Amino acid sequence: MSILLRFKRTIGVRACALSTTAFVALTLASISGDGPRFYSDDPITREPERRDASGVQPWKIGLLYELSHNLFVTQGYKPQNVRAKNINTIDEVPDSNWFTNRIGSQTVSLTDLQRGPQTGRPPSPEKWVIIREKIGGVNPGVTAIDANGETWFIEFDSRHYPEGDSAATIIATKLFWALGYNQVESFITSFDPKRVSFDPKATMLRPSGKRTPFTNEDLDELLDGAARSEDGLYRIIAGRLLPGKILGGFRYAGTRPDDPNDVVPHEHRRELRALRVFGAWTNLTDLKAGNTLDTLVTENGRAVVKHYLQDVGSTFGMANGPHEWDLGWEHFYEGEATRKRLFSFGFALSPWQTVPYQEYSSVGKIEGDRFDPRTWKPHAPTTAYMELQPDDAFWAARRVMAFSDEMIRAAVHTGQFSDAAAEAHLAAVIAKRRDVIGRTYLTAINPIVNPRLDGGSLTFENAAVSAGFANGPSEYRATWSRFDNATGDTRPIGDTRSTSLTIAAPRDLPDASGTYIQVDLSAVSETYPSWRKPVRLHFCRVGTGWKLVGLERTS
């Protein structure tokens, strides 16, 4: 377990009862690493968030400032190249108000996937009362109350891509929910301008800086850029108002200083680093604080902050305008590429200029034949994106590979495309990009997973081989040692080898309750020399069996 996560667990349980002096002493002891390597509750499955966060206040993160900072400052950031600091002792991300383990950790049915974050009733479009303008984003939209009296954030499909924006948002919402991220409850529904009224307090911000009442003329101007169906209705994506107090977005670096539970720097949270992989898979190019949202909610009688990826609609090529082809291939600004095109008078072609996209009016520019997740780029880099380590990418790739073809088709079907060919094309591209993700990252480091020590045998799986991306190695090797949980010292027991996914334990393996052993497990492959770097396992004797308490995957 990372030191920060262990520290967080300790202070979460005990800080409320400590004096200031004792709290400081406990903090220093936790950070210094004193104490046993493993505790009785390892591996923890839920990140401790037990301190009251009621003092957290809303903040604003300027879009222009963030974009400029990421393009011209973050782009020069030198990664620390350290392991994620919010993983537990078996190299997994515990559940938290940031992330919930779903696909890859538990069964996600087709019904679960198609429902996604939807828990309440859908909007009732028989009546819409506009209460305010849309604050951010490119596509036209408003905030409105439906016939049931619920508040919804409404976005219209662009007339350039009818069905495209709403389909991308609803599909991506399902996928990112299954991956584990908090998502807004979103629905595809309709908007009839004839059934619209305006709240007396609804206003529009004018170029002069003044606010004046929202009028029918304003609505007409807004709808001028939206896709309209032949019956006069507009297809919309409606997102339910999130519960709790709205606090603004979160940054992809540092922590929120007024949240006592936020002690792990965001760039070292694995689930935020992994967005480089998940973003590449779905082509989520708009990674910024403005597309995130924190809310202050009450859980178990305590105020805590919940973190949302609240806008994942810039996916599957839908962030591209009609004449934009470079998103996913370059940041908004890349000096070298820009100069190359300028000084060659446009004759020096960039890779994205020769991609043979198959285009549909309801699907953006996305393909899978030239896709490489290692060179994929969002609009602008984030610090968490740049801190991605090989073990983070491996963790993310396993979750991407957990989506079967059938699941991908089921998720895409929720986009309600009127063109079956467009639906089939998008599903095929997503599946193809999934396989590229798996082939790239599952083979990059030692792919041993799911180790189990039962009796005298250690069994495991090889994620790269199971996925069909690699042939089995010529041999697996295990180095066994006794492990002193108090000091970290080891004493050799012996070495064993096998050509299968089961490897024998040494005959003199200790069996006393509370005993710890360490196993360094590697694979010998001429094709993938990195597999020789062992996965380090720790097991504790509990009763008559062995419990996996440690797994460290290094590159």
At residue 33, does pLDDT exceed 70? Answer: no
**Apex CA 32: angle with CA 30 and CA 35, to 5°?**
60
Region 334-356: mean pLDDT is 75
Give the separation between CA 158 and CA 143, rounded to whole angstroms: 17
Q: For residue range 63-74, what is the model confidence (pLDDT) as tens digits? A: 888 888 888 888
Cα of first residue to Cα of last residue in the chain, in angstroms, is 17
Q: In what order do the strands lie in the sheet with 502-504?
A: 448-454, 457-462, 502-504
Q: For residue range 166-212, what is the model confidence (pLDDT) as tens digits? A: 999 999 999 999 999 999 999 999 999 999 999 999 988 888 888 88
Region 103-120: mean pLDDT is 96
510 shares a domain with 405? no
Q: Which of 397, 421, 441 finishes a domain? A: 441
Q: How confident is the model at residue 34 (pLDDT cuts 50, 70, 90)?
A: low
Please report how the helices 420-441 and 405-413 are oriented relative to each other, as an axis angle in degrees rounded to 10.
140
Give the percent of the chain with pLDDT over 70. 91
Instruction: List 475's β-bridge partners, or say none.
Output: 524
Show the 3-state SS of 294-328.
EEEEEECCEEEEEEEECCCCCCCCCCCCCCCCCEE
Strands 211-213 and 203-205: antiparallel
Give the separation between CA 183 and CA 133, rounded to whole angstroms: 22
Mean pLDDT of the chain: 90
Give the percent of the chain with pLDDT over 90. 72
Residue 67 has a pLDDT of 87
265 shares a domain with 251? yes
175 shares a domain with 186? no
Give the separation between CA 536 and CA 520, rounded to whole angstroms: 5
Residue 73: other Cβ atoms inside 10 A: 11
Q: How confident is the model at residue 2 (pLDDT cuts 50, 70, 90)?
A: low
486 shares a domain with 408? no
Q: For residue range 450-486, what is the model confidence (pLDDT) as tens digits? A: 999 998 899 999 999 999 999 999 999 999 999 999 9
237 shares a domain with 271? no
* Nearest by Cα to 516 from 555, 484, 469: 484
Instruction: Specify the residue for token string 């043979």.
Output: 356
Q: For residue range 203-238, what is the model confidence (pLDDT) as tens digits? A: 888 888 888 899 999 899 889 989 999 999 999 999
Distance, C-alpha 514 to centroid of its chain: 37
Q: For residue range 75-102, what is the model confidence (pLDDT) as tens digits? A: 889 999 999 999 999 999 999 999 999 9
- Asked if residues 239 and 308 have their Cβ atoms less than 8 Å apart, the reply is no
399 shares a domain with 275? yes
Contacts of 253 (CB under 8 A, 6+ apart): 74, 265, 266, 267, 382, 383, 384
**Apex CA 34: angle with CA 33 and CA 35, to 5°?**
115
The H-or-E segment that residue 417 falls in is none
Q: Which of 398, 419, 441 finishes a domain? A: 441
154 shares a domain with 219? yes
Residue 208 has a pLDDT of 86
Task: Tell me the C-alpha to C-alpha distance, in Å, between residue 138 and each of 33, 133, 205, 528.
Answer: 48, 13, 16, 45
Contacts of 2 (CB under 8 A, 6+ apart): 83, 84, 85, 86, 87, 264
Instruction: Specify the residue for token string 């198959």.
Output: 358
Residue 234 has a pLDDT of 95
105 shares a domain with 16? no
Residue 323 carries which side chain, given as an amino acid letter?
H
Q: For residue range 361-419, what is the model confidence (pLDDT) as tens digits? A: 899 889 999 999 999 999 999 999 999 999 999 999 999 999 999 999 999 999 999 99
The H-or-E segment that residue 484 falls in is none
Number of domains into which the chain is organized: 4
Tokens, residue 284: 């989520």
48 shares a domain with 133? no
Show the 3-state SS of 150-212.
CEEEEEECECCCCCHHHHHHHHHHHHHHHHCECCCCEEEEEECHHHEEECCCCEEECCCCCEE
Find the length of the chain: 555
154 shares a domain with 29? no
Give the separation between CA 6 and CA 252, rounded to whole angstroms: 22
Give the separation between CA 271 and CA 84, rounded to whole angstroms: 9
At residue 443, does pLDDT exceed 60? Answer: yes
412 shares a domain with 267? yes
Residue 132: other Cβ atoms inside 10 A: 17
- Asked if residues 501 and 548 have their Cβ atoms less than 8 Å apart, the reply is no
| Least confident segment among 1-10, 297-306, 473-482 | 1-10
- CATH number for the domain spanning 476: value is 2.60.40
Strands 196-198 and 128-133: parallel
Give the separation between CA 114 and CA 334, rounded to whole angstroms: 38
Give the separation between CA 317 and CA 324, rounded to whole angstroms: 10
Can you give the residue range of the structural domain that contains 336? 43-120+170-181+246-441
Tokens, residue 42: 């390892």
422 shares a domain with 273? yes
At residue 424, does pLDDT exceed 90? Answer: yes
Output phi, psi for 390, to 5 deg: -55, -35
